[in-house]
Amino acid sequence: MSTDPQRWLSPRPVEGLRTRLRLVCSAHAGGGPQVFAGWASALPQTVSLCPLRRPDHGDPGSDVHILAHQALEALLTLSPRPMVLYGHSLGAVIAFELARLLDGRGMTPRLLIVSGREAPQSPRLLPPIATLPDERFIAALDERYGGIPTELRDSPDLLIRLLPALRADLAASERYGLRPGPRLRCPLLACHGRFDASVDSEGVDGWAVHTAAGFERHDFPGAHFFPVDPRVAFARWLASRL
């Protein structure tokens, strides 16, 4: 795995004298900074957008705990600034582990926001799919997450080229296990798409045990990818909580 922290910050956040807060975002399996490309316009000018780019995207040995440590090293290269962490699906557990690391260094985030993922201690609702044959893997992705865009379905050669990276990300997500540790000293917001078949209500509520500073749950219309559904306007809602 790469250990160059700079590769996690591409692009680096644009920050100036007016910047008071950094929003650090971690995407779902197969996703990267492009997922958050339209979010900057929804944020106040005092908030910078810092999407994380997993540099070893597609490494079959990817591990959530190692990824969180690498993300921490990247953030330590930036000027000190209050942070809010957000993560979706795989990104949710990376953001959670990153929050634990920051908390342990006395750099507690102001807030952790997670979506599209059950709490780390909760059982997964659905069986793992990362090692399925290609056709079954694609079908399972589409059925479970509604996660195959039309343009990819219509370009099978491109889809096949992307499968190794997607498999590796999903394998890291499926292998992830909670390690003992203290509760976070920051508030935690857990967000849920009402029609997300991969996460149940109990799994969302389970996040509450991981904070000593207040927990809220918010339900949204939509399925697994509700945060990037323009009809949901999730970025505007998130900006209102900063």
Residue 218 parent element (H or E): strand 215-220
CA atoms of 104 and 108, how far apart (whole Å): 8
Flag whether pLDDT at 231 surpasses 70. yes
Range of the domain at 46: 5-240
The CATH number of the domain holding residue 211 is: 3.40.50.1820
Q: Is the dihedral of CA 185, 186, 187, 190 positive or negative?
A: negative
Q: Would you state the pLDDT for residue 2?
A: 47
pLDDT tens across 170-199, in order?
999 999 999 999 999 999 999 999 999 999
Amino acid at 96: F
The yes-or-no verdict on residue 5 having pLDDT over 80 is no
Confidence of residue 1 (pLDDT cuts 50, 70, 90): very low
**Mean pLDDT of the chain, nearest integer:** 91
Q: Which of 10-24, 136-150, 206-220 ranks highest by mean pLDDT? A: 206-220
Q: Do 148 and 141 touch, CB atoms closer than 8 A?
A: yes
Those residues whose C-beta lies under 8 Å from the C-beta of residue 149, and which sit 6 or more positions away, are: none
Please count the structural domains in the chain.
Answer: 1
Q: How far apart are CA 95 and CA 85, in angstroms?
A: 6
Q: Which amino acid makes up residue 237?
A: W
Confidence of residue 30 (pLDDT cuts 50, 70, 90): confident
Determine the Cα–Cα distance for residues 112 and 207; give it in Å rounded to an integer. 11
